[in-house]
């Protein structure tokens, strides 16, 4: 009897230990998943193709290489046309990891709508430009509240983030606020804050810009 108990003891110890191990693993996985959902950020670009996006005028300006949207070619605009919030945003945060090549010019449009040709007539362009001849540099609310200072270098990845809340647009570069635009009440026409989709700009054939980690977080009205 004594020998039998000695043989059973290790088995009992293993049986008791196994459930504790499984519970711990399951709890850890669930917590990580909940943290990601609670964060609120939603991915707009899958890193593989342009599903959920609609290119206008010169679609070949946009391609996907090494997990990034490459913008390189004649003037064109790439509008988000996917399912997140039915591609219609009012108050939100939008961010992307960006890299400009020397002399490049691009932009991130907010509160805009798809159009076949031309510069988007609705919403604002948030500038992407370190060394292009245009004096309006990265972080400008184009032609509304412009930035002359350059905060990042070409050929280096950086984060550009746009927050729209009511009548205020806040632009951050690498988590540092560099421009806060408060829209006046007397703005007329379509180049103003309202609601709409977001878009990326192909400015000219000599401009090459890459975008990855394109994400949005919808904020309450």
What DSSP character marks residue 83? S
Q: d(Cα 140, Cα 144) in Å, to the nearest integer?
A: 8
Res 38: pLDDT? 57
Separation of alpha carbons 173 and 154, rounded Å: 14
- DSSP assignment of 111-162: EE---SSSS--SSEEEEE-SSSSSS--TT-BTTTB------S-TTS-EEEEE
Tell the burial category of 30 from Cβ atoms under 10 Å away from its Cβ (0-12, 13-18, 19+): exposed
Report d(CA 130, CA 26) in Å as an integer.
Answer: 47
Centre a 10 Å sphere on the Cβ of residue 142 and count the other Cβ atoms it contains. 19
Spatial CB neighbours of 211, under 8 Å, sequence gap ≥ 6: 45, 68, 69, 71, 96, 97, 98, 200
In this predicted structure, what is the pLDDT of residue 39?
Answer: 86
Task: Kindly tell me if the per-residue pLDDT of 10 is higher than 50.
Answer: no
Top-confidence residue, 54 or 26: 54
Tens of pLDDT, residue by residue over 120-178, are 999 999 999 999 999 999 999 999 999 999 999 999 999 999 999 999 999 999 999 99
Q: In terms of pTM, does the model score above 0.85?
A: no
CA distance 35 to 189: 41
pLDDT of residue 16: 42
Residue 24: is its pLDDT beyond 70? Answer: no
In tens, the pLDDT along 68-92 reads 999 999 999 999 999 999 999 999 9
């Amino acid at each position: 009897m004594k020998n039998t108990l000695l043989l059973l003891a290790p088995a009992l110890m293993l049986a008791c230990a196994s459930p504790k191990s499984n519970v711990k693993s399951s709890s850890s996985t669930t917590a990580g998943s909940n943290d990601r959902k609670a964060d609120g950020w939603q991915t707009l670009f899958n890193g593989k193709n342009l599903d959920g996006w609609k290119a206008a005028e010169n679609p070949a300006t946009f391609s996907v290489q090494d997990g990034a949207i490459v913008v390189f070619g004649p003037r064109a605009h790439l509008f988000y046309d996917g399912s997140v919030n039915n591609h219609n945003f009012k108050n939100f945060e939008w961010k992307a990891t960006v890299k400009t090549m020397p002399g490049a010019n691009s932009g991130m449009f907010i509160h805009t709508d798809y159009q076949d040709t031309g510069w988007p007539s609705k919403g604002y362009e948030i500038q992407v430009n370190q060394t292009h001849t245009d004096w309006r540099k990265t972080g400008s609310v184009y032609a509304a509240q412009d930035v002359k200072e350059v905060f990042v270098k070409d050929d280096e990845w950086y984060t550009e983030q746009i927050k729209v809340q009511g009548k205020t647009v806040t632009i951050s570069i690498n988590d540092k606020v560099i421009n806060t635009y408060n829209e006046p009440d007397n703005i007329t026409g379509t180049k103003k804050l309202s609601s709409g989709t977001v878009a990326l700009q192909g400015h000219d054939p000599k401009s090459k810009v890459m975008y990855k980690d394109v994400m949005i977080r919808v904020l309450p009205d």
